[in-house]
Amino acid sequence: MSTIEADLIAPLTDAEVQRIREDFPILRTEVNGHPLAYLDSGATSQRPLAVLDAERAFATGMNSAVHRGAHTLAAEATELFEDARASVARFVGADDDEIVWTSNATEAVNLVAYALSNASLGRGGAASESLRLGPGDEIVTTEMEHHANLIPWQELAARTGATLKVIPLDDQGALRLDVAAELITARTRLVAFTHVSNVLGVINPVAELVGLARKAGALVLLDACQSAPHLPLDVKALDVDFAVLSGHKMLGPTGIGALYGRRALLEIMPPFLTGGSMITTVTTTTAEYLPPPQRFEAGTQRVSQAIALAAAVDYLTAVGMPRIAAHEAAFGARLVDGLSAIDGVRVLGAGIDLPRVGLASFDVDGIHSHDLGQYLDDLGIAVRVGHHCAQPLHRRLGITSSTRASTYLYTTDAEVDAVIAGVAGAIDFFRRGA
C-alpha cells in the first residue's frame, strides 16, 4: 500500500477503538493506582478474548497430537492445525504449503540460516547445490537489524567461510541505499533486512532493496515482525523469498511464529531440526524426509498456539489492516511531533523521510532510559527501555539505550498524550531533583 493510498484510508474512530478495547480484559488493569496505558506492543501485544478463547477451546475440547493418530480428537486437531496454517498464509499472501510453523521469528531466521549451512555441507545433495555458500560468497544485512536478523548471519558466515557485509545508516538512521547498491553484487547470495525498524518505526524501501537483490541474483529474507501486525502484508507482491513473523507481536500467544518460504526453495532446502513427524522412511543409518512444510516441523507441534494465532489474524482481518495502519500512522506522527517539541528529547529517526508505524524511540538528555521508564511506570504507562536488541543501531546513533513507545489498534489518543506529557513531567522531575 502506497503512502497516497494510506492517506485515503479512514483510521479507526474513537468509538471503534473503545469497542475493540472491550475485547482486551488486561486493558482494564490498574498500575500504581493509574489506569494501564500499554505502549509496549512492539515487544508483546495484548490478546483479545477471541484468541484466549480459541486456545482454551482447543485445550478443553480436542487436545491431541496432530498428524499422528487415527482417533477423532487427533483428526479434529490436525484439521484445525492445518486450517490455522491456511489462515496465516492468506493473511500474508502466501500459499498454504509455504508457511512453516516455528516457535518464533528468531527460530524462523535460524531455520533458513542452518538450512543454507547444511546445504553448504552437501546435505540435500545436488538439488541443494544452488543454496551452497563458501569463501567468496557474501551475505548482506543492515546496521539497523534486530539481533535475531544479524547474529544468525554472522554464524552462517563463520560456518561457511562466506563474508557478511552490512548496509550502513546515515546520521538520521536511514539506510544508505547508495552504499547498498555498491555492497550488493554478483557475489551476494542473500540479502536480509527488516521491513519496519523496531527502533525507528520507519517502513523501509522494500522494492528498492529487493530490486538490488534481484539484479544480483540474490535471495531475500524479510523480517516482518514489526510489519505483519501493523500493515497489510503480501509477500508475493513484495517479491521476497523468505519472510518471518512472530505471533506474540500480532495479538497471538507466545511460542508461535512462522516462516514464509517460496515453495521452490523450501523443496530444495535440507532440514534444520530433525526427528519425528518430518520423515517418511527411517532405517538405523538413513532417513527420507517429508516434503515441505512438514519437513521443517520436527517433533510435537505448537498446536494450540497455531490455532490461537489463526484467531488473531482473523481478528485483525475483521478490523481491517489498512485501517489499523492508518490508525497507527497517525499515532507515529503524533509521537514524533509531540516528543520532538520537548526540550532535551531526541526522537531517533525523526528526520527520515519515510512512512512509519505507530512507534517512536527517543533519548532524553541527562536521564537514563531505565530511570525514565520507571518514572512512566509509576504513572501506569508501560514503555520499553534499553537497546531493543539493536545495539549496532544505537551505537551508530551515538547512544547506548533509548525509551520506546509503541502503539496498536487498541491504543487511544489519551494514552499517546499521556506518554508525551509523562516525558515532559519526568524531565521537570529529574531536573528539579538535580
Verify whether residue 225 is a known catalytic residue: no
Residue labelled with grid coordinates 515487544: 43
Q: In angstroms, rounded to a whole number, what is the distance separating the alpha carbons of residues 296 and 254?
A: 19
* Helix, strand or coil, per DSSP, at residue 289: strand
Number of neighbouring beta carbons within 10 Å of residue 343: 7
- All cell numbers assigned to 247: 505471533
Q: Which of 31, 181, 389, 399 is catalytic?
A: 389
Q: For the chain, first and last CA: distance in Å?
A: 48
Residue of 188, 228, 209 lying closest to 93 (CA atoms): 228
Angstrom distance (rounded) from CA 155 to CA 110 = 10
C-alpha cell at 73: 480428537
* Bond from prior residue into 293 cis (ω within 30 degrees of 0): yes
CB-based contacts of 224: which residues, under 8 Å, 6+ apart? 92, 195, 233, 235, 243, 244, 245
Residue with cell 475493540: 20
Q: For residue 115, what are the CA distances in angstroms to 46, 111, 119, 130, 161?
A: 33, 6, 6, 12, 15
Task: Give the 3-state secondary structure of residue 273.
Answer: coil
Amino acid at residue number 108: A
Just list the catalytic residues: 389
